[in-house]
Amino acid sequence: MKTIKKAVEASINVKKSNFIARIYPAKNKSQVKEIINDISTKYGDATHNCTAHIVSDSRGYDDDGEPSGTAGKPMINVLEKNDLSNIVAIVTRYFGGVKLGAGGLVRAYSHAVLTALEEAEIVNMESFNIYEALFDYRDIKDIEAAFRKYNINIIKKDYAQQVSYTIASNNKDIIKTISEKYQNNLVIKDQGIEYLEVN
């Protein structure tokens, strides 16, 4: 799966209308909603804030008052053609007084998204099983050695009363093996699935 590393923005001018494309990485429908609400509020003075998104639990688009099929659909088509997921695109339009017609709008919204994507760093993402590993300070060396041996990715380290590592692995058998080997010193809790960047 491909997405963008961080948010990007680009603008184009077509017959006095200003089109500002903003593209964000997003994991799910609720993040998409949050981003769209934020931009729509911030740029509430715009003529249109058209959107398109593809995330794990939703995909869709909104023409936001433009003629049906002339804004959101061409935007989502660009995302799909570039094989992108976990992404939301918003194009803010300030009308310049010259009507573009259906074909002109389709080209303008597509071009705005493509222009923003040219600024983006595209990354490959893979789904991983995420776990929380809890253990005592005295076991750090042993546990880390075991994680290295079995190619377990350590995503985050927290040091409180106990040591807590967030780890990622798609091999449940290895997680089981480590759990059994260190059962008196280590607790591993399943945290679900997450998409992580891979080289």
pLDDT value for 185: 86
Query: Would strands 186-198 and 153-159 be described as parallel, antiparallel, or unpaired?
Result: unpaired
Q: What is the pTM of this model?
A: 0.75
CB–CB of 171/181 below 8 Å?
A: no
Give the number of other CB atoms < 10 A from CB of residue 73: 17
Is 173 strand, coil or helix?
helix
pLDDT computed for residue 199 by the predictor: 64
Positions of the chain with pLDDT under 70: 199
pLDDT of 31: 92
CB of 20 closer than 8 Å to CB of 91: yes
Q: What is the pLDDT of residue 195?
A: 75
Three-class SS state of 5: coil
The predicted structure's pLDDT at residue 181: 86
**Token digits for 122?**
């595209």
